[in-house]
């Protein structure tokens, strides 16, 4: 789940990323992109799409770098509301991407390899 951009190419990039994760993962039956705002599908639409495909569990990965208002307030509010809508489905939001401790090493390596 990404923020969503007015630039179509940016949203396509997120869909392509979801596609690459789907094709390289054995753990997940379905991998789909959705967006907090501006672009479609929305978070509720993304969750509904998975549930229509008969999943028992929906796992949301917030593809955000820092704990701004969206991560702290907006996303939990939306996910809570959707969880309430589907009491028989486990809907879980993971820690946002930027909170991962691996980021430090990746950034350093990217900077070192590009210079």
- Site residues, its own copies (CB under 8 A): 2-3, 5-7, 9-11, 13-14, 17, 20-21, 24-25, 27-28, 57, 59, 61, 63-69, 72, 92, 94-95, 97-98, 100, 102-108, 110-112, 114-115
Residue placing its CB nearer to its own copies in the complex, 53 or 107: 107
- Minimum CB separation of residue 36 from its own copies in Å reads 12
DSSP readout, 7-58? SHHHHHHHHHHHHHHHHH-SS-S-----BSSSSSSBHHHHHHHHHHTT-SEE
Residues composing the chain: 115
- Preceding amide of 41 cis, omega within 30: yes
Residue placing its CB nearer to its own copies in the complex, 2 or 34: 2
């Amino acid at each position: 789940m990404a923020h969503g951009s007015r630039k179509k190419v940016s949203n396509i990039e997120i869909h392509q990323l979801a596609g690459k994760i789907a094709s390289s993962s054995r753990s997940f039956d379905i991998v789909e992109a959705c967006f907090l705002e501006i672009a479609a599908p929305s978070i509720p639409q993304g969750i509904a799409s998975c549930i229509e495909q008969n999943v028992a569990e929906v796992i949301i990965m917030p593809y955000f770098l820092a704990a701004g208002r969206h991560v702290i307030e907006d996303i939990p509010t939306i996910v809570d509301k959707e969880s309430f809508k589907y009491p028989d489905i486990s809907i879980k939001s993971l820690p946002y991407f930027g909170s991962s401790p691996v980021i430090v090493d990746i950034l350093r390596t990217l900077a070192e390899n590009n210079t």
